Structure 1
C-alpha cells in the first residue's frame, strides 16, 4: 500500500486499486508511533478437543495444562487463574510431559512466520515459561502430531512423529546442550494417533493409528526394528486410536470397534480382550494411580471404569450431549479426573458422582463478537449455531443457547436487553438476554448476514448482507419490535462493515471490493456529497476503510488482510484483527500510512474480530478456524 495525501485526503492502494479516504475539515494530528497502551494476555477461552489427542494433563503445581490455538494454557482451577506459553507461531498440535513433571514438549503445525513457521518442537519449563530448546526446524513436514519423553533414563530422549506421508518417526538426544537427532524411520503411510516410550522397557516405543496400525519398535543404536501387533483371533479394527500402560508394563489400547485390548509386556500379541465396551470408538484409556482403568467413548459419550484385572466395576457415566464425546481422560488431583471433550470442553469431577465444566468453547468457525454496553460481559456466536454469553471477570460462560442456523455476526441493543444475531443463511434473530428466548426472527435475502449494528439511540437496526444490500429496520418497544423501512443498494460486492453516526442520521459501509459508501437515514439514499460527511461524528469505528484507520493497512495489502477493527470507547486506541493470526494495537486516529503498532500473537488462524469492553479495560479477540477467544488486559 502506498499512501499519498491530497488536500488532507488519503489515497491507499489495495490490489493495485486506488481507494480515496476522505479527511475531516480539521485533521487531528495522527501519531505514527505505537500507543503508550499495551495488551497483556489474561485469559484464553477454548480447548482443542475436536481433533487433537493427548492434550490434557495435571501438573504438580496444581495447574492443568492444555492448548488452544497457538497458546499452551496452564490453568489453576481453584484460583481461577491462567498462565500462558506463547512461544509457538501457529496451532499447537501435541503435548508431552517430561518425567520431572516440570518440563514439557509441545509440537506445532506449519505456520505464518518464515523463521519459525516451519513445524517444530519446543521444550520449555512450566515454572518459568522459559523456552529451553527448539527442535527440528527444517526436519519435519506439515505438522508434529505425536511426542513422548523416554521414562527409564530420566527423559533424556524424545520421540517425535510428523505428518509426512510416511509419518517419519525420529528420536532426539536431549542430554546435550543442543539436542541432536539420533535416528529416524518411516513409521506408516496411515495416520499415527499415538507414539509412546514404554515406561518399563528402555528402548521400546509403541505406535498406533489408522488401518489397525499397532507397532512395537525397538531402538538399537541409531536404527529401529519393528514388530507389528498380531490381532488374531480378534477382528482387526480400522483404527487403534489410543494407548496407555498398566503398572506391570502391559499395553492397553482402545480402538474404533469399541474394544480394549491388553498386550502383555514384551510381546506383540493380545493377552486379554474387553470387547464391545463402547458403542463406537474409544478415544482415551487412562490407568489411574490406584490401578483402576477408565475408558472414554467418542460416539456414546460414556466413561466406564474397570478394576486392575480389567473387570467392569459398574461405575460409569455419560457426558451431556452439549459437551460431546470423550477425547481425553487423565487423573487430576485427589481422585478427580479431567475429561477433554470432542466439543472443545474440559470437565472435572469423579466418574461416580458429577463432572463439572471448567472450560467451554466454540467448535466451529467463529466470527460473531459483541461487548455488552454496560457490563463486563460479551457475546460470541459461530458456525456451530452456538451463542455464548461470557463474563470477563469470572472468566466463564454465563449462559449458552443454540440457534437453528449457523451464526456469523452479533450486536447488542444500546441498553443491553436484547442482541441481534445474523446467520449464514440470511435469517437473523433477536435474542432476549435475560431469558435467551428468540424475541423475533426475519429473513433478508438468502446469503450470509455479514454485520449487524443498532443505531446509538436504538431506533434503527442495519444488517449488511453478502448479497450486497444493507437492510434497515425501525426498532420499537425497547428492541422487541421491528419493521422494515428500506434497503441501501449501491455496493457492487458484499457488505463487510458498518458504522452509525452519533446522531443516527448517517450510516457508512465497506464492501468486499474495498468501497466506502455513505447513506442518509432513514431514507436509505446514498450520500454522494463528500462535504456533507467529512465532519460527521461516528459512534463506532468498525469500518476498516476510513481516513482514521488508513494506517492499519500494510504495504501490498490485498484488502482481506485486515478482517476487523475496533476503536476504543475513549477514542484513544484502535485494535485490528488480521489474516496472519495477529492482534495489532495502534494510536487513534491512525491515518498515517504504515503506522507503527504493537503486535500480539496467540491466535493460530485468521483473527476474525476484536472488541473493547465498555470501559476499555479489556480487549477480546476471536480466531476463525482456531475457534478460540483471547481476553487481553489493556495496560495503560
Structure 2
C-alpha cells in the first residue's frame, strides 16, 4: 500500500486525473492588478484574492523570482522504528551500529556514542532489509511510490560505511506492489540475491546482483497466493533456500538456474495459520516458529518436521535467534516473553517479559557482548539481557501522527497521534523526557506561551488541558460535535483559539496562569473545516484557513469577521502556519500536477519558511515567499503526507512528522 494524503479527504475532489487537469490550480496563472493591489489565482478550482501590504504596493513585481535560502537542512535524528507490521529488520553491524528502517529512511544508530547516520536512497516505505555475508553491504526493498523519480517497487544494494548506492534492481518493472522479503546467498560469498514481491502470486526471483548496475535476473517463478513473510538461503547447502508465510513452508532447489519447490508437510500436526519466523542452527537444521506458539525442527534436506516443541509461547512465536554458543532465544508477540533454550530446545529457565507499553517481541538480534537487541510490535527497540532486563533504546509512535508543538524556551517538543500516546522529546539527548497515555486519539496540541501548560485536542470535539510538569489533568472541555483540527494561544496568553472540522473557530479568554478558560464566542464564516490559526503579534486578530482554500480574518476579542482589507493586509503575524496569504504565495505549485501543501511554519528569525506536502517532501523557502515563482530546497525521508513542520524556539532545528508513517524527523538548520 502506498501512502496517500488524508489532509483534504473531506474536500470534493474530481474523480479522475483528466478532470483534475481541467481544474485551475497553481501560481502559473496568477494575475496582478496593480490599481487594486491584489493578486488573483486559483487553487483546486477555488478563486483566491491575495492583498499586497501597503508598503509594497508601488515596488512589487509579479515577474520577479524568489531565490532559495542560503541555509539548508540536514537530517540529524529519526525517532521511531517500524516493528508494527514488518519483521526481520534489526541487525548489528561490525561498526557497532544497529541498522533498522522507518518510513523511507534506513537508520544506522550507534547507541553507545549516540550518533545516527541515515541512508536516504529510497523514495517510499521500506518494507524489508537484509545483510550481506560480508556484513558490509545491505539490501533494502520498498513499495511502489508516488515519487516521480522511481515509482516502481525496487531493491537498493548499498554500502553501510560510505552509504553509497551500488545497485538498484527493479526499475524495469520486475516487481509488483512491494518487496516482501530478501536474502543473500551464504556459501558462495553472497553472489545471489533472492527477492519475493507482494504481487498476487508473490513472485520469487533470483538475481546475480553484481553482473550489471541493474543486476541480472537468473530465474523467476510464483510462490503462493498467500503472503510470504521471510526467505533464507541454507547456510550449508548452496542450492537450497526456504520461504515461509501464511499456511506454508516451501523448500526450494535452485540447482541448474531454475527454482523448483517442495511443500513442507505438517503431517498429523495442526497446520499453523502462519509460519512466522525461521533460523538455521549449527547442524544445518531449520527451526521455525508459528502462530500456534510451536517451534518445529526440520531435518536438513527434509520437508517433514523432525520434532516439535509445543506451546513454546502463548500465541505466535515471532522470532528465533540462535546465539554463537548454540543457545536459542525466542520471542513471543502475544505473550511478550523472551525465552532461552539450550541447543536441544530444552528450556534453561531463563526468560524475560517486556513491559506492556512496549508491545510484543517482533524481532531479535545479538548486540554487543551478551546483549540482545529487541524490536517490538509497538515500534520500540530495547536492549538488555535475560538477567539484567531490557531498557528502551528507540521510542516510537504506532499510529497516524498529527500533533506537534514546540516548547517556547527549551530544546523540547511534544508529539501525539492516534495511538493515544503523548511524548515529550529532548532534541539534544534524542530521548523522551516523559510519556503519557491520554486515553483517546489526539489530533493537535499547543504549549502555553510560558511552556507550563499543554492543550491537546482529540478526534472528537473534546480538548484537554494538562500541567506540562506534573502531567496532571487541569480541565476538559468540548466545542461542537466534530474534531478540533488546530489550537493556538495568543502571544500574550490572553486567548486560546481552536479551529474545528465544523467550520468554526472557538475563542476562549484565558486566566489564572492558563488554568481557567471562559468561552468568548465562535467565529462563523468558513464553508469548510478550519486547518490553521495564527494570532497577530499583539494578539488582537486571528487569521484562519480552511480545507476549501478560504483565508479569513477575525477580531479575537469579539469573534467578528474583519472584512476591511486595508487593515487586514498590513497585520503583523506572530506565527505563520497559514498556507494562504501574500507572504506564502510562492509555496504553491505552479500547475495542477503539483502536490497539496499540508503545513507550513516561519522561522522565528523571519528568514525561512518550511512546508510539508502530500508526497512526503519538506520544502524550505526564503521568507517572505511572496512571488508566484519561489525557488526552494527540497528534502525527502518521510513516506507519507507530512502533517506538521515546526522550527525549534532558537531556529537551530526543524521538526517534521509524517501522518501514516508515524515518524518524527529532526533536521539541523545550517
Fold shared per TM-score above 0.5? yes
Aligned to 2:566, the other structure's residue is in SS state helix
State the distance in 1 between where 2:113 and 2:39 align. Answer: 50
State the distance in 2 between where 1:581 and 1:36 align. Answer: 22
Shift of 1:557: 4.6
Q: Return closer, same or farther for 1:348/1:213 CA change in 2, 3 Å cut-off.
A: same
Matches within 5 A, 1:129-140: 129-137=163-171, 138-140=173-175
Moved more, 44-53 or 438-447: 438-447
Matches within 5 A, 1:574-613: 574-613=609-648
Q: Return closer, same or farther for 1:3/1:379 CA change in 2, 3 Å cut-off.
A: same
Q: What residue in structure 2 maps to residue 20 of structure 1?
A: 49
Matches within 5 A, 1:293-332: 293-332=328-367
Q: What residue in structure 2 maps to residue 99 of structure 1?
A: 133
The number of residues matched between the two structures is 634
Please point out which of 70, 78, 90 is paired with 1:56: 90
The answer for unaligned runs of 5 or more in structure 1 is none
Q: What residue in structure 1 maps to residue 513 of structure 2?
A: 478
Q: What residue in structure 1 maps to residue 219 of structure 2?
A: 183
Aligned to 1:526, the other structure's residue is in SS state coil
State the distance in 1 between where 2:446 and 2:629 align. Answer: 30
State the distance in 1 between where 2:190 and 2:466 align. Answer: 53
State the distance in 2 between where 1:42 and 1:516 align. Answer: 35
CA-based RMSD of the aligned residues comes to: 1.2
Does 2:573 correspond to 1:546?
Answer: no
Does 2:464 correspond to 1:432?
Answer: no
Q: Is the 8 A contact 1:410 1:452 kept in 2?
A: yes
Q: Return closer, same or farther for 1:511/1:6 CA change in 2, 3 Å cut-off.
A: same
Q: What residue in structure 1 maps to residue 547 of structure 2?
A: 512
Q: What residue in structure 2 maps to residue 248 of structure 1?
A: 283
State the distance in 1 between where 2:557 and 2:333 align. Answer: 53
Moved more, 35-44 or 169-178: 169-178
Please point out which of 144, 148, 151 is paired with 1:114: 148
State the distance in 2 between where 1:469 and 1:191 align. Answer: 46
Listed one character per residue, the Cα deviations across residues 218-238 of structure 1 (whole Å, up to 9, x for unaligned) are 002231111111111211100
Q: What residue in structure 2 maps to residue 490 of structure 1?
A: 525
Q: What residue in structure 2 maps to residue 404 of structure 1?
A: 439
Shift of 1:16: 2.4
Q: Is the 8 A contact 2:613 2:641 kept in 1?
A: yes
Shift of 1:57: 0.3
Moved more, 596-605 or 114-123: 114-123
State the distance in 1 between where 2:514 and 2:211 align. Answer: 66
Does 2:240 correspond to 1:204?
Answer: yes
State the distance in 2 between where 1:10 and 1:199 align. Answer: 68
Listed one character per residue, the Cα deviations across residues 422-466 of structure 1 (whole Å, up to 9, x for unaligned) are 110011111211011121111112211100000000111000000
Please point out which of 69, 85, 92 is paired with 1:35: 69
State the distance in 2 between where 1:432 and 1:527 align. Answer: 34
Shift of 1:546: 1.1
State the distance in 1 between where 2:579 and 2:381 align. Answer: 36
Shift of 1:558: 8.4
Shift of 1:483: 1.1
Shift of 1:54: 1.0
Does 2:595 correspond to 1:568?
Answer: no
Please point out which of 256, 279, 287 is paired with 1:221: 256
Aligned to 2:631, the other structure's residue is in SS state coil
Q: What residue in structure 1 maps to residue 12 of structure 2?
A: none
State the distance in 2 between where 1:334 and 1:563 align. Answer: 46
State the distance in 2 between where 1:621 and 1:276 align. Answer: 44
Shift of 1:174: 2.4
Matches within 5 A, 1:145-156: 145-156=180-191
Aligned to 2:356, the other structure's residue is in SS state coil
Please point out which of 653, 666, 670 is paired with 1:618: 653
State the distance in 1 between where 2:328 and 2:39 align. Answer: 67
Does 2:483 correspond to 1:448?
Answer: yes
Shift of 1:31: 6.1
Please point out which of 31, 36, 61 is paired with 1:4: 31
Shift of 1:484: 1.1
Aligned to 1:479, the other structure's residue is in SS state coil
State the distance in 2 between where 1:76 and 1:12 align. Answer: 50
Shift of 1:352: 2.5
Q: What residue in structure 2 maps to residue 526 of structure 1?
A: 561
Q: Is the 8 A contact 2:167 2:209 kept in 1?
A: no
Shift of 1:560: 7.2
TM-score where L is the length of structure 2: 0.93
Listed one character per residue, the Cα deviations across residues 326-368 of structure 1 (whole Å, up to 9, x for unaligned) are 1101111101001000100000111222101110011000011
Does 2:427 correspond to 1:392?
Answer: yes
Q: Return closer, same or farther for 1:634/1:142 CA change in 2, 3 Å cut-off.
A: same
Listed one character per residue, the Cα deviations across residues 159-204 of structure 1 (whole Å, up to 9, x for unaligned) are 0000000000000002424320000110010000001111111011
